[in-house]
Amino acid sequence: MTEALVKVLADALAALAPAHECDLRVLDRAVGREDKLLDALIGDALPSGYLRIWRQAPCITVPHRFGSHPEFRRAAALSADEGRPLALRSSGGTAVALHAGVLNVSLFGLERKGAAPLDPSYRALIGLMSAALATLSIAVDAGPVDGACCDGRFNLRWRGRKLAGTAAAVRSRRGGVGWLAHASLVVDADMDADIEAVARVESLLGIVGAYRGEAHATVAQALEAQGNAGTDPAMRRESVPA
């Protein structure tokens, strides 16, 4: 079911954005392309409103600022030994587990004057995500979720549970301010394993979080709860390796 769901959601998102790229291959170092696209945006080589739809091979992604922590190398080595290497990203927040069951969506925008409007940027991204999920009859809203990993004001929520996290980055150059608003939508996952992996990394970096599995949900769970799964052979549930 995972691959079918990913394809349905990716197609719905692509239809909403005239300028986009969609690569559903599960690739190493896919996170790193965000920096290149943000530079291209500021250099007028990428249109404002550009949407990237992508996946990443198993990893724990963390903000660049974590790279200066004295225990970062130790955390990176231990996480790599567990099959989830650490990957640095431009956006903020804390640690996030990525793998084939997570659909990443990145929206890029450019402001010629003044500061980048991050709240409207988040809302624009959430609007796209909400419209895509509506094609599966999944209704969502935005807000914080107590006990969720990398919690924030603009989580995408289903029935009060975190379905996707969001983060943003801003970069100034040549008189303009470029922004990136990013969401990681959990289509299917072993959430307990993902949470444990995130908590292990964060504990080594001095972050203590009281995370709860029930604070999170997946698209597959939402479909099953709404009685939409199982009617189409392509949507039958399969497990996603962490």
Give the residue numbers annotated as catalytic, written as ranges. 150
Cβ atoms 96, 149 nearer than 8 A? yes
How far is it, in rounded angstroms, from Cα 104 to Cα 24?
9
Q: DSSP secondary structure string, 92-120?
A: -SS-EEESTTEEEEEEEEEESSS---HHH
Report the side by side order of strands in the sheet with 59-63: 86-89, 59-63, 96-98
How far is it, in rounded angstroms, from Cα 183 to Cα 160?
17
Collapse the DSSP code of 26 into the 3-class scheme (helix H, G, I; strand E, B; otherwise coil) and give the result.
strand
How far is it, in rounded angstroms, from Cα 29 to Cα 42?
22
Collapse the DSSP code of 61 into the 3-class scheme (helix H, G, I; strand E, B; otherwise coil) and give the result.
strand
All residues at 6 or more sequence positions from 168 whose CB lies less than 8 Å from its CB, including other chains: 91, 92, 118, 121, 122, 179, 180, 181, 182
Report how far apart, in Å, the C-alpha atoms of 89 and of each of 22, 121, 127, 145, 227 are. 19, 18, 23, 23, 37
